[in-house]
Amino acid sequence: MKDESDPTPGYDVSGPPEKPRRPKPAYPLPYARTRDYEPDRLPFGWSPSSHFLAGMGLGVLMSVVAWRTAYQFKLIGTDGSLWIAMALVMFAVKLTIGVAGLCLPWWRMAGAGMLTSISLGSLICGGALFATVCGGR
């Protein structure tokens, strides 16, 4: 009960003060054990390393076909303009496919393999140029 003549407003003298309550213990949060950034199952049942090797193999195959065709049919100009144009087109195609693959969760490793094949394709291009300059087959 509150007394009107009490000089301290808000002080209740009707009973003993309440005991402070103990806070409830914090339990650990139920974290999920799944990874949201990777799908559960890849298409065709392949492992991620198989996807990487498939992307890299496809990129290397594209380079071998392009440079072997250019060498076999003597599509080489004396100024080398065709080689530069083919190299730029091959780079652009592989870069586009690789970045598109990186954006799709299931094809992320295949896209990384395609981007890796850019460096291997440049080695193939260098070998084809060396064979052209040396004149051998």
Structure tokens at 126: 């260098």
Query: Is the pTM above the cut of 0.85?
Result: no
> Is 42 among the domain residues?
no
User: Are the C-beta atoms of 109 and 52 separated by less than 8 Å?
Assistant: yes
> Is 39 among the domain residues?
no
Which residues are CB-neighbours of 6 under 8 A, at least 6 positions away? 13
> Is 125 among the domain residues?
yes
> Is 99 among the domain residues?
yes
Which residues are CB-neighbours of 96 under 8 A, at least 6 positions away? none
Total domain count, the chain: 1
> Is 40 among the domain residues?
no
pLDDT value of position 46? 77
Structure tokens at 129: 């140029």
> Is 91 among the domain residues?
yes
Give the residues of the chain that fall short of pLDDT 70: 1-13, 15, 29-44, 73-81, 136-137
> Is 97 among the domain residues?
yes
pLDDT value of position 18? 76
The residue segments making up the domain with residue 84 are: 80-132
pLDDT value of position 97? 94
> Is 58 among the domain residues?
no
pLDDT value of position 26? 75
Which residues are CB-neighbours of 109 under 8 A, at least 6 positions away? 48, 49, 51, 52, 55
pLDDT value of position 59? 93
pLDDT value of position 101? 92
